[in-house]
Structure 1
Amino acid sequence: MSNPTPKTCALCDRAVPLTFHHLIPRKVHRRNHFAKRYTKEKLAQGINICRRCHNGIHNAHDEMTLAKTLNTLEKLRRDAKVRRHVEWVRTQKK
């Protein structure tokens, strides 16, 4: 039996509709650095987050930064810009 789809955002914990965020953005998948170092399965990994958190991540950092240095949920949670945005998102209405 597979794991059920999460019902809350992996970053802000709000119970709202979720989007899929690739931990290594799709835009860089074909670049040699990533194509040579990661399997297709690793490149496909991601997290379910709300649209506000998703937009905040992409507004705070470019794809290369996300791919090289913020490519796990733990790293995203530790990042000051993302953390500040998530704290704001938690205060918003659904």
Structure 2
Amino acid sequence: MGRCCCCQRETWLTFHHLIPRKVHRRSHFKKHYDKDQLAAGILICRQCHNGIHRFYDEMTLTRVFATPEALIADPALNEYFSWVAKQRIRTVDKGR
């Protein structure tokens, strides 16, 4: 558990690659980025992670949104993150 850097909720987090793994094998990215840059990412909640990938394809994420600041500054994503921040956190009841 931790704080999502997009919606600021305290919940379970997933790892979001800032340069999506789908493009890592392309020669352009192998040539221009080292392994640490390709592996860089942020911890975000599942709802924010799903929203990012629903709004933009991998190439757009790579070229335009390769920093946390760029993700948060985008008006459409910012509006979505604000909406997510107001949502109840879903918990998984493993006992039932």
TM-score w.r.t. length of structure 1? 0.91
Say if 2:67 is the partner of 1:72.
Answer: yes
Report the count of equivalent residues.
89
1:39, CA displacement in angstroms? 0.2
Work out which of the residue numbers 68, 74, 85 in structure 1 matches 2:80. Answer: 85
For 2:85, give the aligned amino acid.
R
Structure 2: runs of 5 or more not aligned: 90-96
1:28, CA displacement in angstroms? 0.3
The higher radius of gyration belongs to 2
Matched residue, 1:45:
40
Percentage of matched positions with identical amino acids: 53
Matched residue, 2:13:
18
Task: Give me the whole-angstrom Cα distance separating, in 2, the residues matched to 1:28 and 1:67.
Answer: 8
Task: Give me the whole-angstrom Cα distance separating, in 2, the residues matched to 1:44 and 1:17.
Answer: 20
Structure 1: runs of 5 or more not aligned: 1-5
1:32, CA displacement in angstroms? 1.5
1:33, CA displacement in angstroms? 1.6
